[in-house]
Structure 1
Amino acid sequence: MRAKTLVFMGTPDIACPTLTAASKAGWQVKGVVTQPDRPAGRGKKVRRCPVAAQADDLGFLVLQPERIAALKEELKSLDAQACVVMAMGQILPKEILDIFPLGCVNLHTSLLPLLRGASPINQAIIQGFDTTGVTAMMMDQGMDTGHIIMQEELIIDMQETAGSLADRLSALAADLLPRTLEALWKGEATWTPQDGGKATYAPVMKKTDGLLDWNKSAEELDRQVRGMDPWPSAFTSLNQKQLRLFAPTCLSDFDHKAKPGTVLPPQMERPDMLWVACGQGALGLGQVQAAGKRRMEARNFIHGLRDKQGFCLGE
């Protein structure tokens, strides 16, 4: 009788619960493939990537190639039935996809074909989606174009950040994977082709994507701040120095008559927040990080200003 064996591929924190779920579901993890460890932090010390660190703790073989294609013969030798991929950061070539008899299952954090690509969690918030979810997909050579096996939907909260949504989707993926693998193992999985005509895309996020244009509406800027929290983070400038902005946020539609970017007096809704005039309405910000400083509560930052109003951000 065939053994339930798999190779897991993933790199960041969001993939860790899914690796644990695969092991607890009775599948033998023959190997874990991650991106190579990279220098990180101010000291630029090489830091073990989260999935590799977890695999170390669980006693799994860890492989960290620059390109997955280089592992072809080693992956064949592992003789695994399936491959599970979550947030690996590389597209698998055909010679790797063909190694596994049950195929390669990718867990993508959107309801495909919506938001194919690298930043579906950020973009679901930035674009104002009410719902998102996780798709278990049979991988092909395209970018998130394979047949859908299962999907689970999740409602996006009003104060959702990219960080909080990632945590919830990570847990959802860990719940979805064992059911997906069981269906594949029993030959009961259904494969539904994606409608490419409905596809949208979520490209790789860049730090420059966080720059706020205060001429936009408070609602748009609210989504941008939350969708960039914690990374790459929304930012503006104050006295020609960068000021990073974070959730929690609050919206006000009062007619302020102020130039967009102007720091406003504290508002009744949330007097503890930093309030900024927008092209339409005003946006309250709960946390900020000035250049060379640590992230702090907005009320503490406000106390550090010489006056609580009249400053203009973005200049």
Structure 2
Amino acid sequence: MKRASGVGHLTPFLPGLEKLLGDPEVSEIMINGPGNVWVERGGRLEPHPAPDLTSAWLHRAAIHIARPLGLDPAGRPILDARLEDGSRVAICTPPASPEVAITIRRFGGRAFTAEDLVRLGSLPEDILEAARSTLASRQNILVSGGTGSGKTTLLNALIELLPEDERIVAIEDTLELRIDRANCLRFEAGAIGSEAVSIRDLVRHALRHRPDHIVVGEVRGGEAADLLQALNTGHGGSLTTIHANNARSALSRLASCAMQAGDALPWEVTCRGVVDGIALVLHVARREGRRFVEDALEVCGYDAALGHWITAPPGARRHRTEDGHGSGTQPETGTHTHTPKEANA
């Protein structure tokens, strides 16, 4: 698949943004129109003066990004592209937007291990141990959070907990994960010529490649149904992420995505599939520039009569198994929030 040029190649077309494009501390550049630029640095948004960035320059930049992909912004006003350096660019041009809007999300910098996240205060030690135990027992983890909350950072760290001698198949909308494994297949959705290859296509196809573990970068739609089928048929120790406001709503979102499949099962059956397929939910949040695991819960069941997920704090079920009836911990229907020291993830 063709890729647009890297971030460095955009500098001639975005006057006034040269330093931003070369600054490794800048994670996102948001251009709302001529001279209207905002930057995310260290998790915080700030305006950036760019008086020389005119409408004509923005049109040229859009064309420069789209041309290697065989696209024309005039005929396709909404465009998502991945640059050669891994950065992502979203473009919206008239008539879909009053002015050319360009958002550049940079990827680079260092990859954080789980231990790094613990040291930084982003991942509580007890939650790491719960995640390690979950994957070791070949159960599956769902990571949830909002945009830019650190889902991919946490997912990368969790992948490192998987056994080195087992096979991983990773499926992404855009290749963002950093997986340093010899026995790993990377699949990317997108348009191949006139054919569109979806995440759902790739989840189904992945099963033909003998995965020990399946990693889906993000679940958004009907592919959730196929993923749940895979998680419940011998691919334990798998991982995925989903957009959600909290850990509990992540379970409902996953079930709702599965219901988008044309051959979806009834809601109650789907929810039972979520319970069987997901053992642990980790919810990440971003506040005041800090990213951290805000909530974690074990998935114990689904009460169809009340429409409630039955959950417990991480490790509760393991403690009951180890202690017999001694721990006294019972599943609950409330959320379990952790308030660790906040740190960048």
Under a length normalisation based on structure 1, what TM-score does the superposition of the two structures give? 0.32
Structure number with larger C-alpha Rg: 1
Higher relative contact order (CA 8 A, sep 6+): 2
Q: TM-score, normalization: structure 2?
A: 0.29
